[in-house]
Amino acid sequence: MISVESKLRLASKARLRFDKKSSRYMLLYPERGLVLNGTAADVLQRCTGERTVQSIVEELATRYGHEVPAVEKEVMDFLRTMADRGLVQSVA
Amino acid sequence: MSESPRPYTLVAELTYRCPLRCVYCSNPLDYARHDRELDTATWLRVLRESEDLGVVQCNFTGGEPLVRDDLEALIEEARRLDLYTNLITSGIPLRRERLARFRELGLDNIQISVQDTMQEASDRLAGHRSFDRKLVIAAWVKELGFPLTLNTVLHRENLDRVDEVVALAERLGADRLELANTQYLGWALTNRTALLPSREQLDRARAAAAAARARLRGRMEVLFVTPDYYTDLPKACMDGWGRRFIVVSPDGLALPCHAAHTLPGLTFDSVMERPLGEIWRDSPGFQAFRGESWMPEPCRSCDRRALDFGGCRCQAFHLTGHAEVTDPVCRLSPDHGLIQEVRTEAERQIHGTLVYRNARGASG
């Protein structure tokens, strides 16, 4: 289970790519790809295994000018889905 | 059609050569006729032209792509273009040093097939002693830090061992397990009597896969591809004809799917003669079943036509002799009786003789 204390990184099979045609980031993994919205791309770019989810949430809340709890909910929901799909992992 | 669709995936079939002789090989029966392989420079151009069209993923496959000694150059170029690169291999002709070089070049994922969980059964389906070697290669893949996809093609002879396949995938540290039921085209259609499972056997295997998926959630992705003979609804073959995928055959034909050149009456262009972008947009072969205007009834007025695109054109042709009819696996198809007949036959578990892939074709 992941929490706000978790430090996450992309699974080894997954890689971000900026797509010039749509001006969006894609998360690519074997035989699949996800087109990411702006928040999702900002979150995954920060999942480098060095920072807690909390610190990512705080940075993005400041950057977007939104309340921390709302951003935290959105980010945690997204990251839980990604973890269930094996696309992000906790750094032990 | 106002705007041509965007391809996302290039399937680069580098060669039809392969040390294995699998009885369900998806290469065409007449693969030996396509033995004039593209040179390195042409493949490099195909990679660049694909990326230009919008492709973001490249699957290097075959045959056995490792028999090409320019694979390093192709991986390097694909990664320079920032394509997600996936090597689909039997693993057989591979040295550890070469695998380490692929890692340095940035190859993203390796998919290794095992035919079964026991040496004898696996080698029997592959027509080649290969099982033990594959396990060694799979271990190297993980030691070198690659993500590993393990692929097992399922059929009557191994469907009862899904639990064992899952255990093997766990032991090897696979990141992803593809339990892919045989699609009955090419060599698999020739061997259908021997390979098609009964519904009951399939249901047991599906339940085993579902349990494994739930247990391994977040650690290993477990995919179970149901054979369309038992779905009553067609699969969205290739996500639609000429819609998401470009396949380039070893001799340079640009195709909407890896078996499209087995359909008579269609013209496919070679990347030797025209730029890939032109072929994708304009060639009659890619246009033939794009969109919905080609569709007959019951597809034309069906609510699912934008979901399954009428199913598989190759299957329609190889079962009915007509590529433009509704895929017979659909319960609404007037030809659905063909599928029901074969299912009934599968209940009786007749022992068919296995024909191994060979250069002379199905009668060989």
Residue B115's contacts (CB-CB under 8 Å, 6 or more residues apart) are: B22, B121, B122, B123, B124, B125, B126, B131, B152, B153, B158
Q: Which residue has the higher pLDDT, B350 or B172?
A: B172
pLDDT tens for each residue of B280-312: 999 999 999 999 999 999 999 999 999 999 999
Q: Which two tokens stand for residue A37?
A: 């919205």
Number of Cβ atoms within 10 Å of the Cβ of B328: 25
Supply the mean pLDDT for chain B. 94
What pLDDT score does B124 carry?
83
Say if CB A39 and CB A59 are below 8 A apart: no
| Weakest-pLDDT range from B72-86, B172-186, B203-217, B350-364 | B350-364
Grouping H, G, I as helix, E, B as strand and the rest as coil, residue B79 is helix
CB contact under 8 A, A31 and B6: no
Residue B248 has pLDDT above 70, yes or no: yes
Secondary element (H or E) of residue B330 = none
What pLDDT score does B352 carry?
76
Q: What pLDDT band is residue B364 in, cutting at 50, 70 and 90? A: low
Q: Which residue has the higher pLDDT, B185 or B75?
A: B75
Which of A17, A30, A89 has its CB closest to that of B149? Answer: A30
Measured distance CA(B167)–CA(B171) in Å, rounded: 6
CB contact under 8 A, B56 and A33: yes
- CA-to-CA separations, A76 to A58, A72, A83, B301, in angstroms, rounded: 13, 6, 10, 43
Residue of A nearest to B142 (CA): A12
Interface ipTM: 0.94
What pLDDT score does B35 carry?
83
Q: Whose CA is closest to B191, among B249, B127, B134, B129?
A: B127
Residue B130 has pLDDT above 90, yes or no: no
Residue B54 has pLDDT above 60, yes or no: yes
Which of B57, B82, B175 has its CB closest to that of A12? Answer: B175
Residue B2 has pLDDT above 90, yes or no: no
Say if CB B132 and CB B119 are below 8 A apart: yes
Secondary element (H or E) of residue B87 = strand B84-89
pTM here?
A: 0.95
Q: Does A30 touch chain B (CB under 8 A)?
A: yes
Q: What pLDDT band is residue B363 in, cutting at 50, 70 and 90? A: low
Grouping H, G, I as helix, E, B as strand and the rest as coil, residue B288 is coil
Secondary element (H or E) of residue B3 = none
H/E/C letters for each residue in A1-61?
CCCCCCEEEECCCCEEEEECCCCEEEEEECCEEEECCHHHHHHHHHCEEEEEHHHHHHHHH
What pLDDT score does B24 carry?
87
pLDDT tens for each residue of B217-242: 989 999 999 999 999 999 999 999 99
Residue of A nearest to B9 (CA): A31
Q: What percent of chain B has pLDDT over 70?
A: 99
CB contact under 8 A, A30 and B217: no
Residue B161 has pLDDT above 90, yes or no: yes
Counted across chains A and B, CB pairs separated by less than 8 A come out at: 56
What pLDDT score does B3 carry?
65
Residues in chain B closer than 8 A to A89 (CB atoms):
218
> For each of chain A's 92 residues, which pLDDT tens digit applies?
889 999 999 999 999 999 999 999 999 999 999 999 999 999 999 999 999 999 999 999 999 999 999 999 999 999 999 999 999 999 97
Q: Does B146 touch chain A (CB under 8 A)?
A: yes
